[in-house]
Amino acid sequence: MDYGVVPGTEIPRYIDLGQCNNSISTVKIAAALADAFQCEVNELPVSIVLSWFEQKAVAILLGLFSLGIQDIRIGPKAPEFISPGVLDVLQETFGLKLITNAAEDMAMMLS
């Protein structure tokens, strides 16, 4: 499926950067783009979806939060250890979002 490019550039609108432990590459790319566009990482039209298939995803998520990265999507569902109250705090503080289905999530991220 072709999602096009960022208007005025040749940068693809969708880039799959691999598994959750590749998130450092995502952060490095986002930091370089923020530097090039003279803005903050969270001002970029970048979406991170972190899948919960292994326990290390928790450490990676906390690491991303510690770097100030916001609006991360997790799924396919919230981990069992995150209570509704904790989820509310993470959503309010960091803009954490739960994924729904691929079509809706892609439409939201590309809008």
Q: Model confidence over 62-83: pLDDT tens digits? A: 999 999 999 999 987 888 888 9
CA atoms within a 13 Å half-sphere pointing along the CA-CB vector of 46: 23
| pTM, entire model | 0.77
Judge whether 12 lies within some domain: no
The total number of structural domains that make up the chain: 1
Judge whether 8 lies within some domain: no
The residues of the chain scoring below 70 in pLDDT are none
- The CATH code of the domain that includes 89 is 3.40.50.2030
Q: How far is it, in rounded angstroms, from Cα 67 to Cα 76?
A: 23
Which range of residues forms the domain containing residue 69? 20-110
What is the spatial order of strands in the sheet that 97-98 belongs to?
48-51, 72-75, 97-98
Judge whether 1 lies within some domain: no
Judge whether 37 lies within some domain: yes
What the block records as the tokens of 52 is 């919960």
Judge whether 65 lies within some domain: yes
**C-alpha gyration radius of the chain:** 14
Judge whether 103 lies within some domain: yes
